[in-house]
């Protein structure tokens, strides 16, 4: 048996030993085992009051595992059945041969009469799920699991929650490869003994589906890839100044006039389907309506609510991006509008999430000089109005039983007093994380210099003259190694680290649409997923080695491609076929 850990010296694995993100402890051998369609799968969800089954159940592969009827309750059994089905299909339909990680001339093994097959996979839930486990607050669900595969072909998963079982299933699939000529799949890593638990409870991606409207199936596709990397939060930045694609039945004019075109919208069904599709895989959607800035798309249906709309050509005095515009800060009409908006939206969010993001980034004070309810850019005038604006929104969120999330500016620039339940999402600097936790608030990380995946594409603004090389504000492109080097706990004292819930990578939509979303996110989001699940430091407290990570992430990239995700390559096969050829400077 060999362990990935304990090797104090620098080493290249002889063959990839899979598993991304890396488990807390992972011991494996090198014996070959096969798996095929008739593997017996049993599970026991325990005596969970929340569950509709008790004792051992034989998993039956049928259509109900494949097609979610979208209306029946999201029970642990429903979730597990669907994820077992998904894991089996991932293993047996992948056609993923790891030839790129073997010497030239290597061929996949083929089963023979004396091949050992995995006969059983058993899954056992050891403890009842907490209430609302499918839409928990950070830290409420124990996602840990153990996974053992014996040389004789018995596989056993144990976890304290249904979500833990689901995480373990993704690990299980990553042990296997498939000779495209064969129906069955194989591992060469038996016996396997894994214990795993996440470092951070909040592991997310923020996708901007407002500046460019991303089709539903592609959002679901990202959810698959996220869950496969054990990420558990999808932050949907669903409205912005440029377009308002989210249909609000109580305010139909919002999307009718504010969307780019009538078909570029998310209907209530779409919205529910995204949330449910995610929840089935243990991913919680956090919806953001960014305000009071980033709202000018409301102007198309409600011009009376927006100040400083589309000032041209000097829009940059009033906003970070065109079109300028902000919700008026001291307006009864805005208040009534938000009452209607929240009463419509909150009941459609609360079945699937415990959070709602009220935005609050990049609010431009100058815009309020043109706000007839304020007519000032003086912080002394604006600050109390902003406090009241945000308090009201947060009360609306709390009334629905949800916890508010805000961008860091609300706390750190506007000095708002926020209640303890508010999660503060940082993006501007590492110091922001420290400042947030010093104020006793829960923080999300995602420093734009590391985790904004849209950076480095160059300017999208049309600029006069020669600004060559036309770099964007957050250039250069953050490659996976840079994304991977980011430690969410940088400079956070031990006693405050529990307040860092985790973080999100961000993909803003100025230059990312359906065509390049896959490759803008993957595999770089996977690099962040390992930081968030496994931590940025290894067992010995050292920064994780990119050299060790590189072939594993290469393997994950191939697995994503096998799942149909257009993830970019990390290296040439030449590098990974003989693990030392592309090393330099060791
Ligand atoms: C299976 O048997 C063949 C001979 O019949 C032998 O060459 C091979 O090593 C055996 N394989 C395993 C995995 O035991
Ligand atoms: C389950 O919870 C127990 C404590 O109640 C803990 O010791 C164990 O590590 C957890 N995870 C697994 C997979 O057993
Ligand atoms: C917040 O406090 C800082 C430091 O005291 C101050 O510079 C800033 O103007 C305040 N912001 C507002 C909006 O009042
Ligand atoms: C570890 O990574 C951090 C960035 O997160 C960096 O500042 C530090 O220099 C690295 N330490 C070593 C020993 O490379
Ligand atoms: C890698 O290349 C080196 C030098 O060309 C060679 O000695 C070694 O056997 C190769 N290793 C593998 C695993 O191909």
Q: How many CB atoms lie within 10 A of CB 222?
A: 23
- Answer whether 415 contacts ligand 3 (Cβ < 6 A): yes
CATH code of the domain in which 498 resides: 3.20.20.80
Looking at residue 311, its pLDDT comes to 98
- Same-domain check for residues 121 and 233: no
CA 443 to chain centre: 16
Residue 474 lies in a domain: yes
| Mean pLDDT, contiguous 10-residue spans, the chain (586 residues) | 35 65 96 97 78 75 82 91 97 96 94 96 97 95 98 98 98 96 95 98 98 97 98 98 98 98 96 97 98 98 98 96 98 98 98 98 98 98 98 98 98 98 97 98 98 97 87 97 98 97 98 98 98 96 94 96 98 90 85
Looking at residue 586, its pLDDT comes to 78
Q: Cα(159)–Cα(161) distance, rounded to whole angstroms?
A: 6
Which domain-ending residue is among 141, 170, 196?
Answer: 196
Contact (Cβ atoms closer than 8 angstroms) between residue 444 and residue 432: no
- The whole-model pTM stands at 0.95
**Residue among 20, 186, 16, 87 nearest 563 (CA):** 87
- Same-domain check for residues 125 and 101: yes
Number of structural domains the chain divides into:
2
- Same-domain check for residues 175 and 317: no
Helix or strand (DSSP H, E) at 387: helix 379-399
Closest-CA residue, ligand 3 atom 13, reads: 414
Looking at residue 343, its pLDDT comes to 98
* Residue 139 to residues 144, 256, 437, 450, Cα–Cα distance (Å): 12, 39, 17, 25
Q: Cα(231)–Cα(281) distance, rounded to whole angstroms?
A: 10
- Answer whether 144 contacts ligand 2 (Cβ < 6 A): yes
- Same-domain check for residues 185 and 311: no
158 lies in which domain range?
2-196
Closest-CA residue, ligand 1 atom 3, reads: 114
Q: Cα(166)–Cα(224) distance, rounded to whole angstroms?
A: 12
**Nearest listed ligand to the Cα of residue 445:** 4
- Same-domain check for residues 95 and 233: no
Which domain-ending residue is among 196, 225, 242?
Answer: 196
Task: Extract the tokens encoding 476.
Answer: 């250069």
- Can you tell me which atom of ligand 4 is nearest the CA of 486? 5
Residue 324 lies in a domain: yes
- Same-domain check for residues 402 and 498: yes
Dihedral class, residue 246 (left if φ above 0, else alpha if ψ from -120 to 50, else beta) = beta
- Same-domain check for residues 418 and 485: yes
- Answer whether 160 contacts ligand 2 (Cβ < 6 A): yes
Q: Cα(18)–Cα(26) distance, rounded to whole angstroms?
A: 10
Cα 298 to ligand 3 centre (Å): 29
256 catalytically annotated: no
Cα 98 to ligand 5 centre (Å): 18
- Same-domain check for residues 122 and 90: yes
Cα 201 to ligand 4 centre (Å): 23
- Can you tell me which atom of ligand 2 is nearest the CA of 145? 13
Which domain-ending residue is among 147, 174, 196?
Answer: 196
Q: Cα(51)–Cα(459) distance, rounded to whole angstroms?
A: 52
CA angle 32, 34, 38 (to 5 degrees): 165
- Can you tell me which atom of ligand 2 is nearest the CA of 195? 13
Cα 33 to ligand 1 centre (Å): 13
- Same-domain check for residues 135 and 242: no
Pocket, ligand 5, Cβ cutoff 6 A: 103, 578, 580
- Can you tell me which atom of ligand 3 is nearest the CA of 386? 13
Pocket test for ligand 3, best of 415, 418, 435, 439 (most atoms within 8 A of CB): 415
- Can you tell me which atom of ligand 1 is nearest the CA of 114? 1
- Same-domain check for residues 209 and 129: no
Pocket, ligand 4, Cβ cutoff 6 A: 485, 487, 490, 543
- Of 140, 362, 438, 510, the catalytic one is 362
Residue 550 lies in a domain: no
Residue 211 lies in a domain: yes
- Answer whether 49 contacts ligand 1 (Cβ < 6 A): no
Residue 581 lies in a domain: no
CATH code of the domain in which 35 resides: 3.30.379.10
Closest-CA residue, ligand 3 atom 6, reads: 413
- Can you tell me which atom of ligand 2 is nearest the CA of 159? 13
Residue 370 lies in a domain: yes
- Same-domain check for residues 288 and 323: yes
Phi, psi of 278 (to 5 degrees): -70, -45
Contact (Cβ atoms closer than 8 angstroms) between residue 566 and residue 525: no
Residue 553 lies in a domain: no
Cα 115 to ligand 1 centre (Å): 8
Cα 464 to ligand 2 centre (Å): 61
Closest-CA residue, ligand 1 atom 13, reads: 115
- Same-domain check for residues 383 and 260: yes
Cα 580 to ligand 1 centre (Å): 31
Alpha carbon distance, N-terminus to C-terminus of the chain: 27
């Amino acid at each position: 048996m060999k362990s990935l850990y304990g090797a104090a010296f620098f080493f290249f694995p002889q063959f990839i030993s899979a598993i991304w993100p890396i488990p807390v402890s992972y011991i494996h051998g090198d014996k070959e085992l096969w798996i095929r369609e008739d593997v017996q799968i049993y599970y026991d969800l325990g005596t969970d009051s929340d569950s509709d089954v008790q004792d051992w159940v034989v998993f039956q592969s049928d259509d109900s595992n494949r097609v979610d009827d979208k209306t029946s309750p999201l029970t642990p059994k429903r979730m597990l059945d669907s994820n077992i089905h998904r894991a089996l299909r991932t293993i047996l339909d992948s056609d993923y041969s790891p030839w790129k990680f073997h010497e030239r001339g290597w061929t996949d093994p083929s089963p023979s009469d004396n091949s050992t097959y995995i006969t059983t996979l058993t899954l056992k839930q050891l403890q009842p799920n907490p209430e609302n486990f499918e839409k928990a607050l950070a830290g409420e669900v124990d996602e840990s699991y153990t996974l053992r595969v014996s040389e004789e072909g018995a596989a056993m998963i144990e976890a304290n929650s249904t979500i833990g079982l689901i995480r373990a299933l993704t690990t299980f699939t990553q042990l296997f490869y498939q000779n495209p000529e064969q129906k069955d799949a194989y591992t060469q890593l038996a016996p396997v003994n894994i214990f795993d638990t996440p470092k951070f409870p909040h592991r997310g991606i923020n996708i901007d589906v407002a500046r460019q409207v991303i089709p539903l199936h592609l959002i679901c596709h990202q959810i698959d890839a996220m869950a496969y990397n054990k990420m558990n939060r999808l932050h949907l930045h669903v409205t912005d100044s440029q377009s308002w694609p989210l249909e609000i039945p109580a305010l139909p004019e919002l999307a009718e006039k504010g969307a780019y075109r009538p078909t570029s919208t998310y209907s209530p069904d779409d919205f529910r389907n995204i949330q449910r599709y995610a929840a089935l895989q243990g991913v919680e959607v956090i919806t953001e309506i960014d305000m009071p800035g980033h709202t000018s798309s409301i102007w198309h249906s409600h011009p009376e609510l927006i100040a400083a709309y589309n000032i041209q050509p000097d829009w940059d005095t009033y906003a970070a991006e065109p079109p300028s515009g902000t919700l008026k800060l001291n307006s009864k009409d805005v208040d009534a509008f938000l009452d209607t908006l929240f009463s419509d939206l909150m009941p459609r969010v609360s079945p699937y999430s415990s959070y709602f993001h009220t935005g609050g980034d990049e609010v431009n004070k100058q815009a309020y000089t043109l706000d007839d309810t304020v007519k000032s850019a003086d912080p002394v005038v604006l600050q109390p109005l902003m406090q009241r604006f945000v308090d009201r929104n947060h009360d609306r969120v709390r009334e629905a039983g949800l916890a508010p999330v805000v961008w860091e500016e609300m706390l750190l620039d506007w000095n708002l007093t926020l209640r303890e339940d508010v999660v503060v999402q940082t993006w501007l600097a590492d110091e922001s994380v420290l400042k947030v936790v010093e104020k006793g608030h829960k923080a999300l990380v995602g420093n734009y210099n590391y985790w904004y995946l849209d950076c480095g594409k160059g300017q999208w603004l049309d600029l006069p003259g020669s600004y060559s090389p036309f770099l964007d504000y957050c250039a250069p492109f953050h490659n996976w190694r840079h994304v991977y080097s980011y430690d969410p706990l940088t400079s956070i004292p031990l006693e405050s680290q529990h307040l860092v819930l985790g973080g999100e990578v961000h993909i803003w939509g100025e230059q990312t649409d359906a065509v390049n979303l896959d490759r803008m996110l993957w595999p770089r989001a996977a690099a962040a997923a390992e930081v968030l699940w496994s931590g940025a430091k290894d067992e010995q407290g050292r920064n994780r080695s990119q050299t060790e990570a590189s072939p594993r992430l290469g393997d994950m990239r191939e697995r994503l491609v096998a799942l149909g995700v257009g993830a970019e390559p990390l290296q040439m096969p030449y590098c990974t076929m003989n693990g030392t050829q592309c090393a330099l400077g060791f």
